[in-house]
Structure 1
Amino acid sequence: MELSKPWRDEVGYLKARLLEVSYETELAKRFLEEGLVRNAAGKAWQAWKALLAALALKEKEVLRTAFVGVRKLRGGKRLSEADWVVAFMPSTRVRRVAQILARKYGDSVLMYTDIALNLHEYQYNGPDKEGIFSRYPDDDAAREDIERLLRGLEEVKKLLQ
Protein backbone atom coordinates (compact mmCIF):
# COMPACT_ATOMS: atom_id res chain seq x y z
CA MET A 1 0.00 0.00 0.00
CA GLU A 2 1.34 3.41 -0.95
CA LEU A 3 1.12 6.19 1.61
CA SER A 4 -1.11 9.02 0.38
CA LYS A 5 0.47 12.45 0.29
CA PRO A 6 -1.05 14.62 3.04
CA TRP A 7 -1.19 17.66 0.75
CA ARG A 8 -3.25 15.66 -1.79
CA ASP A 9 -5.46 13.41 0.33
CA GLU A 10 -5.62 14.18 4.05
CA VAL A 11 -8.25 11.53 4.75
CA GLY A 12 -6.28 8.83 2.95
CA TYR A 13 -3.07 9.88 4.67
CA LEU A 14 -4.70 9.78 8.10
CA LYS A 15 -6.19 6.32 7.47
CA ALA A 16 -2.83 4.99 6.24
CA ARG A 17 -0.96 6.39 9.24
CA LEU A 18 -3.46 4.93 11.70
CA LEU A 19 -3.22 1.57 9.97
CA GLU A 20 0.56 1.84 10.25
CA VAL A 21 0.17 2.49 13.98
CA SER A 22 -1.89 -0.69 14.35
CA TYR A 23 0.50 -2.87 12.32
CA GLU A 24 3.65 -1.58 14.00
CA THR A 25 2.08 -1.91 17.45
CA GLU A 26 1.09 -5.51 16.74
CA LEU A 27 4.60 -6.33 15.53
CA ALA A 28 6.15 -4.71 18.61
CA LYS A 29 3.97 -6.88 20.86
CA ARG A 30 4.89 -10.03 18.93
CA PHE A 31 8.59 -9.22 19.07
CA LEU A 32 8.36 -8.68 22.82
CA GLU A 33 6.67 -12.06 23.25
CA GLU A 34 9.52 -13.64 21.27
CA GLY A 35 12.17 -11.86 23.35
CA LEU A 36 13.30 -9.68 20.45
CA VAL A 37 13.48 -6.53 22.53
CA ARG A 38 15.54 -4.36 20.18
CA ASN A 39 13.25 -5.22 17.27
CA ALA A 40 10.24 -4.44 19.45
CA ALA A 41 11.80 -1.07 20.31
CA GLY A 42 12.10 -0.27 16.61
CA LYS A 43 8.50 -1.15 15.90
CA ALA A 44 7.24 0.82 18.90
CA TRP A 45 9.26 3.81 17.63
CA GLN A 46 7.75 3.47 14.14
CA ALA A 47 4.25 3.24 15.59
CA TRP A 48 4.80 6.36 17.68
CA LYS A 49 6.22 8.30 14.74
CA ALA A 50 3.19 7.36 12.62
CA LEU A 51 0.80 8.44 15.39
CA LEU A 52 2.64 11.73 15.80
CA ALA A 53 2.35 12.32 12.05
CA ALA A 54 -1.40 11.68 12.25
CA LEU A 55 -1.76 14.16 15.12
CA ALA A 56 0.44 16.66 13.29
CA LEU A 57 -1.82 16.47 10.24
CA LYS A 58 -4.70 17.69 12.40
CA GLU A 59 -2.58 20.62 13.63
CA LYS A 60 -0.80 21.49 10.39
CA GLU A 61 -1.74 25.16 10.56
CA VAL A 62 -0.16 25.49 14.01
CA LEU A 63 2.97 23.72 12.75
CA ARG A 64 3.32 26.30 9.99
CA THR A 65 4.40 28.88 12.56
CA ALA A 66 7.25 26.66 13.81
CA PHE A 67 8.32 25.12 10.51
CA VAL A 68 8.65 27.91 7.99
CA GLY A 69 10.21 27.82 4.59
CA VAL A 70 9.94 25.65 1.53
CA ARG A 71 11.39 22.26 0.62
CA LYS A 72 12.16 21.28 -2.93
CA LEU A 73 11.29 17.69 -3.76
CA ARG A 74 12.44 15.51 -6.63
CA GLY A 75 10.90 16.67 -9.84
CA GLY A 76 11.03 20.30 -8.74
CA LYS A 77 7.83 20.27 -6.66
CA ARG A 78 7.91 22.80 -3.86
CA LEU A 79 6.43 21.94 -0.49
CA SER A 80 6.06 23.94 2.70
CA GLU A 81 8.36 22.88 5.52
CA ALA A 82 5.30 22.07 7.67
CA ASP A 83 3.83 19.79 4.98
CA TRP A 84 7.22 18.09 4.61
CA VAL A 85 7.45 17.49 8.37
CA VAL A 86 3.93 16.05 8.50
CA ALA A 87 4.58 13.79 5.50
CA PHE A 88 7.98 12.45 6.52
CA MET A 89 8.11 13.09 10.29
CA PRO A 90 11.92 13.00 10.40
CA SER A 91 13.40 11.95 13.72
CA THR A 92 15.22 15.29 13.92
CA ARG A 93 11.86 17.08 14.09
CA VAL A 94 9.90 14.65 16.26
CA ARG A 95 10.57 16.30 19.62
CA ARG A 96 9.74 19.80 18.37
CA VAL A 97 6.51 18.54 16.83
CA ALA A 98 5.65 16.83 20.13
CA GLN A 99 6.25 20.04 22.07
CA ILE A 100 3.83 21.86 19.81
CA LEU A 101 1.23 19.10 19.93
CA ALA A 102 1.50 18.85 23.73
CA ARG A 103 0.02 22.34 23.96
CA LYS A 104 -3.28 20.97 22.68
CA TYR A 105 -3.16 17.26 23.49
CA GLY A 106 -1.35 17.32 26.84
CA ASP A 107 2.09 16.65 28.21
CA SER A 108 1.75 12.89 27.73
CA VAL A 109 2.47 13.44 24.01
CA LEU A 110 5.85 14.89 24.92
CA MET A 111 6.56 12.26 27.57
CA TYR A 112 5.82 9.38 25.20
CA THR A 113 7.89 11.07 22.51
CA ASP A 114 10.89 11.17 24.81
CA ILE A 115 10.41 7.48 25.57
CA ALA A 116 10.11 6.73 21.85
CA LEU A 117 13.32 8.63 21.11
CA ASN A 118 15.13 6.75 23.88
CA LEU A 119 13.90 3.46 22.42
CA HIS A 120 14.99 4.54 18.94
CA GLU A 121 18.50 5.10 20.33
CA TYR A 122 18.38 1.73 22.13
CA GLN A 123 17.27 -0.04 18.96
CA TYR A 124 20.53 0.89 17.26
CA ASN A 125 22.92 0.73 20.21
CA GLY A 126 21.45 -1.97 22.45
CA PRO A 127 21.76 -2.01 26.21
CA ASP A 128 24.66 -0.16 27.83
CA LYS A 129 25.44 -0.58 31.54
CA GLU A 130 27.54 2.61 31.49
CA GLY A 131 24.81 4.71 29.86
CA ILE A 132 27.05 6.12 27.13
CA PHE A 133 25.41 4.70 24.00
CA SER A 134 21.99 3.92 25.37
CA ARG A 135 19.91 5.04 28.31
CA TYR A 136 18.95 1.45 29.03
CA PRO A 137 21.36 -0.65 31.09
CA ASP A 138 19.69 -3.90 30.05
CA ASP A 139 16.90 -5.34 27.94
CA ASP A 140 14.49 -5.48 30.89
CA ALA A 141 14.68 -1.71 31.35
CA ALA A 142 13.98 -1.22 27.66
CA ARG A 143 11.13 -3.74 27.76
CA GLU A 144 9.48 -1.74 30.53
CA ASP A 145 9.51 1.42 28.39
CA ILE A 146 8.34 -0.44 25.28
CA GLU A 147 5.33 -1.68 27.23
CA ARG A 148 4.78 1.86 28.55
CA LEU A 149 4.92 3.31 25.03
CA LEU A 150 2.53 0.65 23.71
CA ARG A 151 0.01 1.67 26.38
CA GLY A 152 0.63 5.29 25.46
CA LEU A 153 -0.08 4.60 21.82
CA GLU A 154 -3.56 3.38 22.73
CA GLU A 155 -4.12 6.33 25.05
CA VAL A 156 -3.04 9.00 22.54
CA LYS A 157 -4.73 7.30 19.58
CA LYS A 158 -8.07 7.97 21.28
CA LEU A 159 -7.40 11.71 20.88
CA LEU A 160 -7.91 11.32 17.13
CA GLN A 161 -11.40 9.89 17.47
Structure 2
Amino acid sequence: MGEGAVPQVKDLQGYINFRLEEAIVELNLAVELLKRGYSRNASQKAFMAWKAIISVLVSINLDKMPRNEKEKEWYTKAGFLAPTTGLNGIARRLEELGYKDVVGTNSLALKLHRYAYNGLYRGASDYADREDAIDDLKVLIKRIAETLAELGRSKEAKEVLDKLMRL
Protein backbone atom coordinates (compact mmCIF):
# COMPACT_ATOMS: atom_id res chain seq x y z
CA MET A 1 0.00 0.00 0.00
CA GLY A 2 1.39 3.41 -0.99
CA GLU A 3 2.13 6.25 1.39
CA GLY A 4 -1.08 8.06 2.39
CA ALA A 5 -3.27 5.24 1.08
CA VAL A 6 -6.32 4.44 3.17
CA PRO A 7 -6.88 0.75 3.87
CA GLN A 8 -10.20 -0.65 2.76
CA VAL A 9 -12.53 -1.84 5.50
CA LYS A 10 -12.59 -5.62 5.70
CA ASP A 11 -15.26 -5.89 8.42
CA LEU A 12 -17.86 -3.35 7.30
CA GLN A 13 -20.41 -4.17 10.02
CA GLY A 14 -17.71 -3.93 12.68
CA TYR A 15 -16.69 -0.55 11.26
CA ILE A 16 -20.32 0.65 11.26
CA ASN A 17 -20.73 -0.40 14.90
CA PHE A 18 -17.47 1.36 15.83
CA ARG A 19 -18.55 4.61 14.15
CA LEU A 20 -21.99 4.45 15.81
CA GLU A 21 -20.27 4.15 19.19
CA GLU A 22 -17.99 7.03 18.25
CA ALA A 23 -21.00 9.20 17.37
CA ILE A 24 -22.62 8.44 20.73
CA VAL A 25 -19.44 9.21 22.68
CA GLU A 26 -18.79 12.45 20.77
CA LEU A 27 -22.40 13.56 21.20
CA ASN A 28 -22.31 12.92 24.93
CA LEU A 29 -19.07 14.90 25.15
CA ALA A 30 -20.69 17.75 23.20
CA VAL A 31 -23.55 17.93 25.70
CA GLU A 32 -21.17 17.76 28.67
CA LEU A 33 -18.91 20.48 27.28
CA LEU A 34 -21.92 22.65 26.47
CA LYS A 35 -23.19 22.19 30.02
CA ARG A 36 -19.82 23.44 31.29
CA GLY A 37 -19.93 26.49 29.01
CA TYR A 38 -17.44 25.40 26.35
CA SER A 39 -19.54 26.07 23.27
CA ARG A 40 -16.70 25.94 20.74
CA ASN A 41 -15.36 22.63 22.05
CA ALA A 42 -18.91 21.28 22.18
CA SER A 43 -19.43 22.37 18.57
CA GLN A 44 -16.36 20.46 17.46
CA LYS A 45 -17.50 17.31 19.29
CA ALA A 46 -20.94 17.56 17.68
CA PHE A 47 -19.24 17.96 14.29
CA MET A 48 -17.19 14.82 14.93
CA ALA A 49 -20.40 12.98 15.85
CA TRP A 50 -21.94 14.18 12.56
CA LYS A 51 -18.94 12.94 10.56
CA ALA A 52 -19.26 9.55 12.27
CA ILE A 53 -22.98 9.42 11.38
CA ILE A 54 -22.26 10.32 7.75
CA SER A 55 -19.61 7.61 7.68
CA VAL A 56 -22.18 5.10 8.96
CA LEU A 57 -24.75 6.13 6.32
CA VAL A 58 -22.14 5.88 3.55
CA SER A 59 -20.99 2.49 4.81
CA ILE A 60 -24.54 1.15 5.01
CA ASN A 61 -25.10 2.29 1.41
CA LEU A 62 -21.61 1.63 0.07
CA ASP A 63 -22.95 -0.30 -2.93
CA LYS A 64 -25.46 2.48 -3.82
CA MET A 65 -23.34 5.59 -3.26
CA PRO A 66 -21.15 5.55 -6.38
CA ARG A 67 -22.64 6.50 -9.75
CA ASN A 68 -19.59 5.40 -11.74
CA GLU A 69 -16.27 3.57 -11.42
CA LYS A 70 -14.34 6.69 -10.39
CA GLU A 71 -16.79 7.34 -7.53
CA LYS A 72 -16.75 3.66 -6.57
CA GLU A 73 -12.99 3.82 -6.15
CA TRP A 74 -13.25 7.03 -4.08
CA TYR A 75 -16.01 5.72 -1.79
CA THR A 76 -14.21 2.44 -1.10
CA LYS A 77 -10.84 4.12 -0.50
CA ALA A 78 -11.78 7.31 1.34
CA GLY A 79 -15.45 8.25 0.99
CA PHE A 80 -16.61 5.87 3.70
CA LEU A 81 -14.45 7.90 6.13
CA ALA A 82 -16.62 11.00 5.45
CA PRO A 83 -13.72 13.40 4.88
CA THR A 84 -14.66 16.99 5.68
CA THR A 85 -13.92 18.17 2.13
CA GLY A 86 -16.31 15.53 0.73
CA LEU A 87 -19.21 16.08 3.11
CA ASN A 88 -21.28 18.33 0.82
CA GLY A 89 -21.23 15.88 -2.08
CA ILE A 90 -21.87 12.93 0.22
CA ALA A 91 -24.82 14.73 1.81
CA ARG A 92 -26.36 15.46 -1.61
CA ARG A 93 -25.90 11.83 -2.65
CA LEU A 94 -27.52 10.54 0.56
CA GLU A 95 -30.53 12.77 -0.11
CA GLU A 96 -30.72 11.38 -3.66
CA LEU A 97 -30.89 7.94 -2.03
CA GLY A 98 -33.87 9.03 0.08
CA TYR A 99 -32.41 10.32 3.34
CA LYS A 100 -34.16 13.46 4.57
CA ASP A 101 -32.52 16.82 5.40
CA VAL A 102 -28.94 15.55 5.23
CA VAL A 103 -27.83 18.60 3.22
CA GLY A 104 -29.35 21.06 5.70
CA THR A 105 -27.95 19.24 8.71
CA ASN A 106 -24.57 19.01 7.03
CA SER A 107 -24.56 22.77 6.38
CA LEU A 108 -25.38 23.36 10.05
CA ALA A 109 -22.57 21.00 11.13
CA LEU A 110 -20.06 22.78 8.87
CA LYS A 111 -21.11 26.19 10.25
CA LEU A 112 -20.49 24.92 13.76
CA HIS A 113 -17.16 23.43 12.66
CA ARG A 114 -16.08 26.91 11.48
CA TYR A 115 -17.32 28.39 14.78
CA ALA A 116 -15.28 25.82 16.72
CA TYR A 117 -12.12 26.93 14.93
CA ASN A 118 -12.73 30.64 14.45
CA GLY A 119 -15.00 31.66 17.31
CA LEU A 120 -16.98 34.82 16.66
CA TYR A 121 -14.22 36.47 14.64
CA ARG A 122 -15.93 38.78 12.14
CA GLY A 123 -15.55 37.51 8.59
CA ALA A 124 -14.57 33.99 9.67
CA SER A 125 -17.68 33.03 11.63
CA ASP A 126 -21.28 32.47 10.65
CA TYR A 127 -22.45 33.73 14.05
CA ALA A 128 -22.87 37.21 15.45
CA ASP A 129 -23.02 36.00 19.05
CA ARG A 130 -22.41 32.93 21.17
CA GLU A 131 -26.08 32.29 21.93
CA ASP A 132 -26.84 31.99 18.21
CA ALA A 133 -24.16 29.31 17.88
CA ILE A 134 -25.43 27.49 20.97
CA ASP A 135 -28.99 27.47 19.57
CA ASP A 136 -27.71 25.89 16.34
CA LEU A 137 -25.58 23.45 18.33
CA LYS A 138 -28.65 22.24 20.20
CA VAL A 139 -30.47 21.73 16.88
CA LEU A 140 -27.53 19.73 15.50
CA ILE A 141 -27.36 17.55 18.62
CA LYS A 142 -31.10 16.83 18.34
CA ARG A 143 -30.81 15.93 14.65
CA ILE A 144 -27.89 13.60 15.27
CA ALA A 145 -29.77 11.95 18.15
CA GLU A 146 -32.81 11.48 15.88
CA THR A 147 -30.58 9.84 13.26
CA LEU A 148 -29.07 7.58 15.93
CA ALA A 149 -32.59 6.50 16.88
CA GLU A 150 -33.37 5.76 13.22
CA LEU A 151 -30.21 3.64 13.10
CA GLY A 152 -31.43 1.51 15.99
CA ARG A 153 -29.74 3.33 18.85
CA SER A 154 -32.91 4.75 20.46
CA LYS A 155 -31.81 4.19 24.07
CA GLU A 156 -28.57 6.13 23.60
CA ALA A 157 -30.34 8.85 21.61
CA LYS A 158 -32.92 9.28 24.37
CA GLU A 159 -30.15 9.58 26.99
CA VAL A 160 -28.44 12.33 24.97
CA LEU A 161 -31.71 14.21 24.47
CA ASP A 162 -32.55 13.91 28.18
CA LYS A 163 -29.16 15.45 29.06
CA LEU A 164 -29.69 18.21 26.51
CA MET A 165 -33.13 19.05 27.96
CA ARG A 166 -31.55 19.54 31.40
CA LEU A 167 -29.25 22.31 30.14
Cα drift, residue 121 of structure 1: 0.8
Q: Mark the runs of 5 or more structure 1 residues left unpaired by the alignment.
A: 71-79
Q: CA RMSD in A?
A: 1.9
Letter matched to residue 38 of structure 2: L
1:126-145: CA deviation from partner (whole Å, max 9, x where unpaired): 013x4x10101111111011
Contact 2:79–2:86 (Cα < 8 Å) also in 1: no
2:3 aligned with 1:12: no
Cα drift, residue 69 of structure 1: 5.8
Alignment match, 1:49: 51
Q: Mark the runs of 5 or more structure 2 residues left unpaired by the alignment.
A: 1-6, 153-167
Alignment match, 1:77: none
1:17-46: CA deviation from partner (whole Å, max 9, x where unpaired): 000000000000001001000000000000
* SS, match of residue 7 in structure 1: coil
Cα drift, residue 63 of structure 1: 2.0
Task: State the percentage of identical aligned residues.
Answer: 29
Using the size of structure 1 for normalisation, the TM-score is: 0.83
Letter matched to residue 26 of structure 2: E
1:99-125: CA deviation from partner (whole Å, max 9, x where unpaired): 111123433211111100111111110
Cα drift, residue 11 of structure 1: 1.0
Cα drift, residue 156 of structure 1: 1.6
Contact 1:22–1:47 (Cα < 8 Å) also in 2: yes
Contact 1:55–1:160 (Cα < 8 Å) also in 2: no
List structure 1 segments (4+ residues) > 6 angstroms apart after TM superposition: none
Contact 2:62–2:80 (Cα < 8 Å) also in 1: no
Alignment match, 1:126: 119
Alignment match, 2:126: 135
